[in-house]
Amino acid sequence: MNRLQLFVETVRHAQIVAPSMELMILLGILTVALVCRAVRIGLTAAYLFAFRWGWLFVSENLAKKDIVYLQAYVLLGVFVLVLGLIGMMRENS
């Protein structure tokens, strides 16, 4: 079975569970960030929580079968984070 078929089958049959305490913490952080008009902090917090939940999914389902998925997830996640931080550091024009 090639990697694409393995990925599709794993995603098709996986159960995705988000920890309820982490959802409440994220909701609290986003509420405070939006009330204080700290949009960049809210976006960064949302990205970090989404990355963590993705990490849980990849490590539980795909990494057991092939380590390439875990390596690709980390590299792409760090790349997107760096691009996002660079974009946030630039002044609005």
| pLDDT tens figures, 32-75 | 999 999 998 999 999 999 999 988 888 888 877 788 888 999 99
Share of the chain above pLDDT 70, in %: 97
Tokens of 15: 């159960």
Give CA–CA dist 5/67, Å, rounded: 15
pLDDT of 93 over the 70 cut: no
Does 88 or 35 have the greater pLDDT score?
35
CB 34 within 8 A of CB 60: no
- Does this model's pTM top 0.85? no
pLDDT of 25 over the 60 cut: yes
The domain segmentation of the chain, as residue ranges, is 3-89
Tokens of 24: 């409440």
pLDDT-derived band at 9 (thresholds 50, 70, 90) equals confident
